[in-house]
C-alpha cells in the first residue's frame, strides 16, 4: 500500500534529487535546448517542497492537485504544463484517498502519462520525457497486474526507464526546442526524460 | 559572465523594478506574479492585447505595453515561458469588457501555458482567443519539429494589432488581422556570438572566433547551421533571399472555436512573397550588435528586395526582440496592405517604441 | 573580429548608404565628403544645429538629424574626428540664414577640426559659434589632461537645443542654453568588454573575464581604473554617487568672440548638484549591453538620486551614444529647469530619437 | 640646397614609411589612445602620395600648402589639424621658391613646429609629437647655423629625435587622448611622436 506519507516523501525526495542535479539538467538542456530545464525543475520542486508541511493533513488526491498547481504556476516553459498536467491527471484518480493499492498506483501513473501525452502530443521516440514515462508506466502496471509488490515493480520500472533514458541519446528530437536542431540533436540525452527518471527514482526510494 | 546584474535569481524582479521606476506614466508592474499592464488601467470597450514569453528579449514584450500596442505583458524567467496564472491575472487586469487576444509565440511551452491560461480566463467569463505566431523560416518542417518559431513578426504584429484595438476592432476581427499578419510575415536570424543566461553563467553554445550560426532562434539555442563568418552582404543577401523565396508553408495551428467551445486545429498556409508586394522590413539586433551594423544589413536587404520586385514601404531598425547580449541580427519581411500601413503609422507610446504622440 | 561588415575600409560609406535607404524622409546623406542634413533642406530663419565626431557611436550623431534635433551631422572615420571640410560644407548646406551652432565634444581632434571649420565658414560669411561639451567626470583634471571628455550630455543637449532652435532661439541665446546645459550635466562610463575597431581587428584593450574598466570614454580607450567586476548595484551606486558628489569643476573653454573677432578662452564653472535639483537621468548602453540590464542600472540610479534629494523628472534609457559593440554603460545626470523640460518634451523626429510627432 | 624634387621624394618616402608602419602606429595608439593613428596617417599620406604627380610643376610653397590641405581634409583626429598646420605654416616660408638653402629649410621647420605648438598648446614633456619635432628642429637649426651641410644636420637631428622619441616612453601624457590615462600612460611610446620621427627620417632619406 502507498500511504500518503510515502507521497510526501516522494515529493521531498524529488526535490532533493532535482536540487542536486540542477546544473546537470541545465547542462543537458544547454546542448539541445535553452539552458533552463534544471532551473525550471528546481524552482518548481523547491516551491512544492516548501508546501509539504502544510499538505500533511490532506488526502493523496489533494496533495497531488496542490503539487500540480504549484508546478503549473512556478516551472514555466514546456516542462511546467507537462509535469503540472501529469500531477493534475494523477490527482483525479486519488481524490479522497489516504492510501493507494498497487493497482491504484498503476492507474495513477497511467492517468498522469495520458495527461502528458494529451498536452504535448509527443510519441515514444520523439526524444522527450515520454520516452521515460511511458515504458516505466507500462512496466509498473504489467508487474502490478502480475501481482508483484509495489516496491519490486517500481524498481523494475526504474531500471527499464534507465535503459530507455539512454536510448534518447541517439534519437532525433521531434518535439520541443530540441526538434529545431534536427540531426544535431543526436548524441545528447534528453533533459526532460532525465528529470522524469529522477522523479521515478525518488518514488522508488520513497517506498523502499 | 559579463553582465550588469546582482544575483542572477533577482534579475527579473530588479529589472522590472527599474522599468517601473522609469515609466510610471506608461506601465504598472505587478510583482507577485509578474505582469505588466498599462498605467491607466484597462481600456473600456477595447479588446485587450496581451503577450508574454520568457524574459531576455527586451524590450519585447514588457517594453511594448502602452497606448497603441499591448495592454499587458507577462514576463517569464529568462528564456522560460511564463506560467498560466500570470497570464490569467494579466487577462483579468487588462480586460476592458471586449475580450482578450493573446499573442503567443510558437514555442511548446508558450503555447501550452497560454492555452491553460485562456481556459482559466474563459472560466471567469472573459472571452479569449490565442493566435500563434510562427514566422521563423529557418525551421523548415512542422511535421518533424515543434514548427516554426515565433520571432521578429511578433513585434510588428503587436504594433499593428495594438493600433487596430485602439481603432475598435472586435475580438474576431482583431484575431483575423493577427492571423493574416502572421501569414504575411517571415523572418530569419543569425548569431555571431552566443548569449549567456544569467542562471547558467556560461555561453549557451561554443562558437569559434571565425564562425557564425545561421538560423538561430532567440533563446541562445544553437542554430540550424554553423558556418565560417561571411561578409554582411553575403549574410544579408542569403537571409533576404531565403525569406523572399520561401515556398508556401502549411501547418495546423490551434485556436479556440467559440461555437464548438473547444480548441480546434486550423490548417493555415503562408503564401510566398511575390513581385509587387509591399512590405515592412524589420532589421533587428539580437542585443549585442550595434545599430551601425544593422544599417549595413539594411542596405543589402533594400537592394535584394528591390531586385526581387518587392517594395519596402516602412522599416524598423534596432534591438527590439533580443536574446540577452547575443551579437547577431534577424531580418523580417511582412507583406502589408494600405490599411495595415495606416495601423503601423498610428501613434504608439510605450517604453520601447514610440511615435506620433 | 565578430562584426556584420564587409571590407573595414567601406563601412562608413555602406552604413551611411543603409541609413539613407532607410530614412529618405528624414535625412539626406552627402558622400564626398560625408555629412548628413535634414531631408527638407536648410530651415529658413532658424539657427542650424550641427554636430559631428568619429563614427562608431551610432545613433549619435547622424541618427539625431531631423525635426527638433540636429540640422546636420559630420561622421568621421571610426573613432576619428571628422575633418574641417566636411564640417564647413555641412554648415553651408544647413545654414538657414540665422547662423550655425557647432556642438563639439571635447576631444583634441574634434575641437581643433571644428575650430578650423568655423573659421572657414565665417570666411564665407556664415555666423558660427562652437560650444564644447565636457561632461565626463572620470577625468578629474583639466590642467594635466586634455580636459573632461564630451560624452552622454551631448545627446541630451542635442535634443534640448534642437527644440530651442525650432522655437526660434537666435545664435546667441542658443549658444547660452547649450553652454548652460553643458555646465548642468555630468556623466560617467564603464565597460565590461573592449570594443574592436574594424580597421584594427582586435580588442582595443585586454580585459580579464572577471574585470571591468571604470571611467572609460567612448573610443575603446582604456578607462581610469581597472577593477574586479562588481554587482550592478555597486557599480551604479558608485557612478551615481560620483556624479552627485562631484565638486565644482572649473576650466577654460574656447568660444568665438563676435566683438573681438577671435577665439577667446572662457572660464567656465560647473556647480555641483544640490538637494532639490531636478534632473534628466540618462542611462546609456555602450552598444553591447541590452536594455534589460540598463533597467537594472536605472533602478539603482533612481534609488541613489532619491536618497540624495535630487528629483529625476525625465529619463532616457537605451543605446544612444555607443562605442561600437562594447558592453558597458554610462550614466548622465543633467540639471534642468521647467523651460528645459518643456524643450525636452517638444516633438522630435529623427532616425534615432522620436516622440510627439 | 633642397630642391623641389627632394620635397616630392620626402613626401613619397613619408608615405612609404607610414604605410609600412600603419599597424605599428595603430598598435602604439591602441595602448594609450583609440587605435587609429596608423590608419589616420596612412589615409592622409596615401592621398598626398596620389597627388604628387600633379604637384611636380609647382613651387615648394605650393606643394607644401597642397599637402597641408590634403592632410587637413583626410586625416581627421588630432593629428590631422596638427600635421596640416605644420605643413601650412611651413608652406608660408617657401612661397614661390623652387629650392631652399639650409637656412631656409631650418626656417621652414621652425615655422611648422610653431604652427603645431600654437594649434595644440603642447609643451615638450607632454608626450606628444612636440617631443620629437622640437628637439629635431632645434638640432637642425643649430647645426645649420654652424654651417653644417643639410644632410649632415638632418641626420644628426634624426638621431637626437630618436633619443627623444624613446624618452616619451616613461612620460605621463598631458595632452591628447593619452592624457586621460594619467599614470597608466607611462611605459608606452607616443604614437604621434613616432609618426613625426618617421617623417623626419623620410626627409633625411630624401636628401641623401
Ligand atoms: N511536446 C512535448 N511532449 C513531452 N515532453 C516535451 C514536449 N516538449 C518538450 N518536452 C520535454 O520538455 C523538456 C524541456 O523542458 P524545459 O527546458 O523545462 O522547457 P523549454 O523547452 O520550454 O525550455 C524536453 O527535454 C522534453 O523532455
Ligand atoms: N595637443 C597636442 N599637441 C601636439 N600633439 C598632440 C596633441 N594632442 C595629441 N597629439 C598627438 O596626436 C597623436 C594622436 O593622433 P591620432 O591618434 O591620429 O588622433 P586622436 O588622438 O584624435 O585619435 C598623439 O600621439 C600625440 O602625439
Ligand atoms: Mg529548456
Ligand atoms: Mg525555456
Ligand atoms: Mg581618434
Ligand atoms: Mg588616435
CATH of the domain at D133: 1.25.40.340
Does the beta carbon of A201 lie under 8 angstroms from any beta carbon of chain B?
Answer: no
For ligand 2, mutation pick of D23, D85, D128, D185 (most atoms within 8 Å of CB): D128
Nearest to D177 among C84, C205, C221 (CB): C221
Residue range(s) defining the domain that contains residue D121: 2-207
- Residue B198, min C-alpha distance to chain A (Å): 10
Give the percent of chain D with pLDDT over 90: 97
The per-residue pLDDT for B200 is 87
State whether the Cα torsion D86-D90-D95-D98 is positive or negative.
Answer: negative
The per-residue pLDDT for B222 is 81
Could you give the CA distance from residue D69 to residue B212 in angstroms, rounded to a whole number?
43
The per-residue pLDDT for C221 is 82
Does the beta carbon of D180 lie under 8 angstroms from any beta carbon of chain C?
Answer: yes
Pairwise CB contact (< 8 Å): C145 & D26: no
Touch between chain D and chain B (3+ CB pairs, < 8 Å)? Answer: no
- Residue C261, min C-alpha distance to chain B (Å): 39
For the cut 90, the answer to whether the pLDDT of residue C200 exceeds it is no
B232 chain-C contacts, CB cut-off 8 A: 3-6, 14
Could you give the CA distance from residue C228 to residue B257 in angstroms, rounded to a whole number?
57
Could you give the CA distance from residue C165 to residue B179 in angstroms, rounded to a whole number?
45
Could you give the CA distance from residue D83 to residue D127 in angstroms, rounded to a whole number?
16
Domain count, chain A: 1
For ligand 2, mutation pick of D164, D176, D179 (most atoms within 8 Å of CB): D176
Mean pLDDT, range A125-129, rounded to an integer: 98
Does the beta carbon of B154 lie under 8 angstroms from any beta carbon of chain C?
Answer: no
Does the beta carbon of A16 lie under 8 angstroms from any beta carbon of chain B?
Answer: no
Could you give the CA distance from residue C30 to residue C16 in angstroms, rounded to a whole number?
9
**Which residue, among B284, D121, D180, D24, has the nearest Cα to C218 in the 3D structure?**
D180
Which residue lies with its CA nearest to atom 5 of ligand 2?
Answer: D128
**B210 by DSSP, 3-state: which?**
coil
Pairwise CB contact (< 8 Å): A77 & B200: no
Would strands C48-55 and C72-78 be described as parallel, antiparallel, or unpaired? parallel
Mean pLDDT, range C89-100, rounded to an integer: 98
The per-residue pLDDT for B224 is 84
Q: Which of B85, B196, B200 to mutate to test the interface with A (most CBs of A within 10 A)?
A: B200
Nearest to D72 among C84, C217, C219 (CB): C84
What residues contact C314, with CB distance under 8 A and at least 6 apart? Answer: C280, C281, C336, C341, C344, C345
Give the percent of chain A with pLDDT over 70: 100
Pairwise CB contact (< 8 Å): C294 & B4: yes
Predicted-complex ipTM score: 0.95
B355 chain-C contacts, CB cut-off 8 A: 349, 354-355, 357
Residue A175: CB within 6 Å of ligand 1? yes
Pairwise CB contact (< 8 Å): C146 & D82: no
The per-residue pLDDT for B141 is 84
Q: Determine the distance separating the centroid of ligand 4 and the alpha carbon of A190, expressed in angstroms.
A: 14
Atom number in ligand 1 closest to CA A40:
18
Give the percent of chain C with pLDDT over 90: 94
Say if residue C321 is exposed, middle or buried (CB neighbours under 10 Å; 0-12, 13-18, 19+).
buried
Residue A173: CB within 6 Å of ligand 1? no
Residues 128-157 of A with CB under 8 A from B: none
Q: Cell match 560644407: residue?
A: C89
| pLDDT per residue rounded down to tens, chain B (357 residues) | 999 999 999 999 999 999 999 999 999 999 999 999 999 999 999 999 999 999 999 999 999 999 999 999 999 999 999 999 999 999 999 999 999 999 999 999 999 999 999 999 999 999 999 999 999 999 988 888 999 999 999 999 999 999 999 999 999 999 999 999 999 999 999 999 999 999 889 898 899 999 999 999 999 888 888 999 999 999 999 999 999 999 999 999 999 999 999 999 999 999 999 999 999 999 999 999 999 999 999 999 999 999 999 999 999 999 999 999 999 999 999 999 999 999 999 999 999 999 999
For residue B46, the cross-strand partners are: none
Query: What is the widest separation between alpha-carbon atoms in chain B?
Result: 56
Would strands C262-270 and C249-257 be described as parallel, antiparallel, or unpaired? antiparallel
Eight-class DSSP state of C104: E
pLDDT tens digits, C275-318: 999 999 999 999 999 999 999 999 999 999 999 999 999 999 99
Backbone phi, psi, residue B94, to 5°: -100, -20
Pairwise CB contact (< 8 Å): B204 & A34: yes
Domain locations in chain C? 22-184+249-272, 188-244+274-335
- Chain C residue with minimal CA distance to B1? C209
Per CATH, the homologous superfamily of domain C22-184+249-272 is: Dihydroxyacetone kinase; domain 1 (3.40.50.10440)
Q: Cell match 631656409: residue?
A: D104
Residue D122: CB within 6 Å of ligand 2? yes
Does the beta carbon of C324 lie under 8 angstroms from any beta carbon of chain B?
Answer: yes
Could you give the CA distance from residue A36 to residue A192 in angstroms, rounded to a whole number?
11
The per-residue pLDDT for B143 is 83
For residue C28, the cross-strand partners are: C37
Which residue lies with its CA nearest to atom 24 of ligand 1?
Answer: A192
Residues of chain D where predicted confidence (pLDDT) is lower than 50: none
Mean pLDDT value across chain C: 97
**B182 by DSSP, 3-state: which?**
helix
Touch between chain B and chain C (3+ CB pairs, < 8 Å)? Answer: yes
- Residue C30, min C-alpha distance to chain D (Å): 15
- Decide: D81 and D50 in contact? Cβ < 8 Å: no
Pairwise CB contact (< 8 Å): B290 & C288: yes
Could you give the CA distance from residue A42 to residue A20 in angstroms, rounded to a whole number?
9
For the cut 90, the answer to whether the pLDDT of residue C45 exceeds it is yes
For the cut 90, the answer to whether the pLDDT of residue C143 exceeds it is no
Mean pLDDT, range A109-132, rounded to an integer: 97
Residue A34: CB within 6 Å of ligand 1? yes
Helix then strand count (H, E) for chain A reads 9, 2
- Residue C288, min C-alpha distance to chain D (Å): 18
Touch between chain D and chain A (3+ CB pairs, < 8 Å)? Answer: no
Backbone phi, psi, residue C352, to 5°: -105, -15
The per-residue pLDDT for B144 is 86
Backbone phi, psi, residue B251, to 5°: -165, 170
For the cut 90, the answer to whether the pLDDT of residue C326 exceeds it is yes
- The count of other CB atoms within 10 Å of the CB of residue D96 is 8
Which residue lies with its CA nearest to atom 22 of ligand 1?
Answer: A77
Q: What is the architecture, at CATH level 2, of domain C188-244+274-335?
A: 2-Layer Sandwich (3.30)
Pairwise CB contact (< 8 Å): C298 & B22: yes
Q: Is the whole-model pTM more than 0.90?
A: yes
Lowest mean pLDDT among A53-57, B63-67, C351-355: A53-57
C3 chain-B contacts, CB cut-off 8 A: 192, 232, 293
A120 chain-B contacts, CB cut-off 8 A: 108, 112
The per-residue pLDDT for B26 is 98
Catalytic pick among C57, C67, C71, C88: C57
C14 chain-B contacts, CB cut-off 8 A: 232, 296, 299
- The count of other CB atoms within 10 Å of the CB of residue A156 is 17
Structural Rg of chain C based on CA atoms: 19
The alpha carbon torsion through B174, B178, B184, B190 (nearest 10 deg) reads: 150
- Catalytic, C219? Answer yes
The per-residue pLDDT for C142 is 83
- Chain B residue with minimal CA distance to C1? B209
- Count how many residues are written for chain A: 208
**B100 by DSSP, 3-state: which?**
strand
- Decide: C323 and C303 in contact? Cβ < 8 Å: no
Could you give the CA distance from residue B270 to residue B251 in angstroms, rounded to a whole number?
9
- Residue C132, min C-alpha distance to chain D (Å): 15
Nearest to B231 among C6, C63, C349 (CB): C6
For the cut 90, the answer to whether the pLDDT of residue C11 exceeds it is yes
Amino acid at each position: 500500500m502507498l500511504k500518503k506519507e510515502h507521497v510526501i516523501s516522494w515529493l521531498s525526495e524529488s526535490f532533493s534529487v532535482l536540487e542536486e542535479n540542477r546544473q546537470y539538467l541545465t547542462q543537458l538542456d544547454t546542448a539541445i535546448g535553452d539552458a533552463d530545464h534544471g532551473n525550471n525543475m528546481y524552482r518548481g520542486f523547491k516551491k512544492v517542497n516548501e508546501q509539504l508541511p502544510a499538505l500533511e493533513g490532506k488526502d493523496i488526491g489533494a496533495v497531488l492537485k496542490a503539487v500540480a498547481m504549484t508546478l503549473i504556476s512556478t516551472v514555466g516553459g514546456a516542462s511546467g504544463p507537462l509535469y503540472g498536467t501529469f500531477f493534475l491527471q494523477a490527482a483525479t484518480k486519488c481524490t479522497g484517498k489516504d492510501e493507494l493499492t498497487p493497482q491504484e498506483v498503476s492507474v495513477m501513473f497511467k492517468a498522469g502519462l495520458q495527461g502528458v501525452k494529451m498536452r504535448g502530443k509527443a510519441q515514444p521516440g520523439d526524444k522527450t520525457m515520454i520516452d521515460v514515462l511511458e515504458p516505466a508506466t507500462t512496466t509498473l502496471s504489467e508487474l502490478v497486474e502480475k501481482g508483484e509488490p509495489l516496491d519490486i515493480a517500481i524498481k523494475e520500472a526504474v531500471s527499464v526507464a534507465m535503459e530507455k533514458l539512454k536510448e534518447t541519446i541517439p534519437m532525433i528530437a521531434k518535439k520541443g526546442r530540441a526538434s529545431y536542431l534536427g540531426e544535431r540533436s543526436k548524441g545528447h540525452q534528453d533533459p526532460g526524460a532525465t528529470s522524469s527518471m529522477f522523479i521515478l527514482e525518488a518514488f522508488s526510494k520513497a517506498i523502499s | 559572465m559579463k553582465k550588469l546584474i546582482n544575483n542572477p535569481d533577482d534579475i527579473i524582479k530588479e529589472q522590472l523594478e527599474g522599468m517601473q521606476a522609469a515609466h510610471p506614466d506608461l506601465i504598472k508592474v505587478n510583482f507577485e506574479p509578474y505582469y505588466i499592464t498599462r498605467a491607466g488601467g484597462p481600456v473600456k470597450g477595447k479588446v485587450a492585447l496581451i503577450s508574454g514569453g520568457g524574459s531576455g528579449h527586451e524590450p519585447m514584450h514588457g517594453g511594448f505595453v502602452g497606448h497603441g500596442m499591448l495592454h499587458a505583458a507577462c514576463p517569464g524567467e529568462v528564456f522560460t515561458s511564463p506560467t498560466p496564472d500570470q497570464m490569467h491575472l494579466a487577462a483579468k487586469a487588462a480586460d476592458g469588457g471586449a475580450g482578450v487576444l493573446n499573442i503567443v509565440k510558437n514555442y511548446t511551452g508558450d503555447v501550452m501555458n497560454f492555452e491553460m491560461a485562456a481556459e482559466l480566463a474563459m472560466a471567469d467569463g472573459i472571452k479569449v482567443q490565442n493566435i500563434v505566431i510562427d514566422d521563423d523560416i529557418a525551421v523548415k518542417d512542422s511535421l518533424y519539429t515543434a514548427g516554426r518559431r515565433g520571432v521578429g513578426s511578433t513585434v510588428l504584429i503587436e504594433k499593428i494589432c495594438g493600433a487596430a484595438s485602439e481603432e475598435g476592432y472586435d475580438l474576431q476581427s482583431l484575431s483575423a488581422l493577427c492571423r493574416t499578419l502572421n501569414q504575411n510575415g517571415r523572418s530569419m536570424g543569425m548569431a555571431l556570438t552566443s548569449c549567456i543566461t544569467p542562471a547558467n553563467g556560461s555561453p549557451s553554445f561554443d562558437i569559434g572566433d571565425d564562425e557564425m550560426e545561421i538560423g538561430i532562434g532567440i533563446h541562445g539555442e544553437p542554430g540550424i547551421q554553423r558556418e565560417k563568418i561571411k561578409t554582411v552582404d553575403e549574410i544579408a543577401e542569403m537571409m533576404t533571399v531565403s525569406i523572399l523565396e520561401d515556398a508556401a508553408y502549411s501547418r495546423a495551428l490551434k485556436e479556440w472555436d467559440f461555437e464548438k467551445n473547444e480548441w480546434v486545429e486550423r490548417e493555415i498556409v503562408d503564401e510566398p512573397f511575390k513581385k509587387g508586394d509591399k512590405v515592412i522590413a524589420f532589421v533587428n539586433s539580437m542585443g549585442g550588435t550595434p545599430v551601425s551594423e544593422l544599417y549595413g544589413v539594411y542596405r543589402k536587404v533594400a537592394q535584394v528586395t528591390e531586385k526581387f520586385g518587392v517594395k519596402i514601404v516602412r522599416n524598423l531598425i534596432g534591438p527590439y526582440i533580443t536574446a540577452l547580449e547575443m551579437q547577431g541580427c534577424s531580418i523580417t519581411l511582412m507583406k502589408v496592405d494600405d490599411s495595415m500601413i495606416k495601423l503601423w503609422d498610428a501613434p504608439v507610446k510605450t517604453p520601447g517604441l514610440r511615435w506620433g504622440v
